Amino acid sequence: MTAAPQGKKYLGAVDLGGSKILSVIAEGDGRRVGEDRRTTSAREGPEVVLERIGVSLETALANAGLQQGDLTAVGICSPGPCDIDAGVICSAPNLPGWRDVPICRYLEERLGAPALLENDANAAAVGEHVYGAGRGCRHLIYITVSTGIGGGLIIDGRLYRGATGLAGELGHMTIDPQGPVCGCGNHGCLEALASGTAIAARGQELVAQGGSSLLAELAQKQGRLTAETVAQAAGQGDIACQEIIRRAGYYLGIGFASYVNIFNPQLIMIGGGVAKAGDLLLAPARAEMEARAMPEALRAVQVKLAELGDYGGVMGMVALLRDGATA
Ligand SMILES: [Zn+2]
């Protein structure tokens, strides 16, 4: 093992997800020098997963030829509500048993470096702002469309957290008051209409009605029917599946129009697995946004795909640590 060159500062960042843990070691300019990926196996509970996070960071350090003393700070982002100031993950729908887990204290004790916590969508917004599709923009909105819909707001060059860190829940804007019930308990949220879960549900209805033999065949072959399956059938020319994706894009565009009118952003960036559907989703989203938003605000805004993929969250933590966001 080699010691870190004199004066170099290394930052550790972890993205804790329901299915995977991604750890990176980076320099302040964003250059990644070490990495580790492993499955979360969240069912084993918080204690086992905490240990796994520690091992993952230590493995990423070792992969970079570094050791614990070389880390100046560590950041972790996680799904669900967090108490940023206390460094506590309050709860996480995809992490069973996680209730008020003092993650920062654990990392500080284990790694001997100050630790910082942030919500994963907020972190990805910062990552895209500093290192990705949002470079050079001061006013931008990041929206991630996957199983659910999350988001983060960069206003005047800074992450906007709101009064209690919950700002940017872009998926829970009401689009249709009579719409399907959402995971949050409200009716007709954007998430209930345009998320991967919503697209998969429409696909299942379609198959049940005998509306797409191609989708039924793909679902049977894969053993499951997800938004990706619907997108795949759409890509192979299935008209009914194309209509499902287009419909999700239409609802996204209704949301975008409100974001444009409220925040007057330069950029709306879309990340998450569903964004891989590309123009089939983005074209109707843009069209609906243009039909509804105020023309003066529309002139300023671009809609683009995010660039960092699943590195968005960790790179956001690197940027926040670089800027000295730890206490
Ligand atoms: Zn909701």
Q: What is the pLDDT of residues 130-166, one digit of tens each?
A: 999 999 999 999 999 999 999 999 999 999 999 888 8
Q: How far is the CA of 188 from the centre of ligand 1 (A)?
A: 7
Q: How far is the CA of 217 from the centre of ligand 1 (A)?
A: 32
What's the CA gap between 259 and 267, in Å, rounded? Answer: 11
| Triad 52, 57, 62: Cα angle to 5° | 120
* Cβ atoms within 10 Å of 56's Cβ, excluding its own: 23
Q: How far is the CA of 180 from the centre of ligand 1 (A)?
A: 10
| Triad 49, 40, 312: Cα angle to 5° | 110
Amino acid 119: pLDDT: 93
Q: Supply 153's token pair.
A: 């707001």
Q: Supply 189's token pair.
A: 């949220």
Q: How far is the CA of 258 from the centre of ligand 1 (A)?
A: 16
Q: What is the tens place of the pLDDT at every residue in 8-57?
A: 789 999 999 989 999 999 998 999 999 999 999 999 999 999 999 999 99
Q: How far is the CA of 147 from the centre of ligand 1 (A)?
A: 13
Q: How far is the CA of 193 from the centre of ligand 1 (A)?
A: 10
Q: Which of 91-95, 291-295, 323-327 has the lowest mean pLDDT?
A: 323-327
Q: How far is the CA of 186 from the centre of ligand 1 (A)?
A: 5
Residue 1: band (very low, low, confident or very high) from pLDDT cuts 50, 70, 90 = very low
Residue 327: band (very low, low, confident or very high) from pLDDT cuts 50, 70, 90 = very low
The model's pTM: 0.93
Helices (H) and strands (E) in the chain, counts: 11, 13
Residue 180: band (very low, low, confident or very high) from pLDDT cuts 50, 70, 90 = very high
Amino acid 198: pLDDT: 97
What's the CA gap between 209 and 269, in Å, rounded? Answer: 35
Pair 119, 78: CB distance under 8 Å: yes
> What does the pLDDT average to over 76-98?
91
Q: How far is the CA of 182 from the centre of ligand 1 (A)?
A: 5
Amino acid 52: pLDDT: 98
Q: How far is the CA of 171 from the centre of ligand 1 (A)?
A: 6
Mean pLDDT of the chain: 94
Q: How far is the CA of 273 from the centre of ligand 1 (A)?
A: 19
Amino acid 173: pLDDT: 97
Q: How far is the CA of 138 from the centre of ligand 1 (A)?
A: 28
Q: What is the tens place of the pLDDT at every residue in 106-133?
A: 999 999 999 999 999 999 999 999 999 9
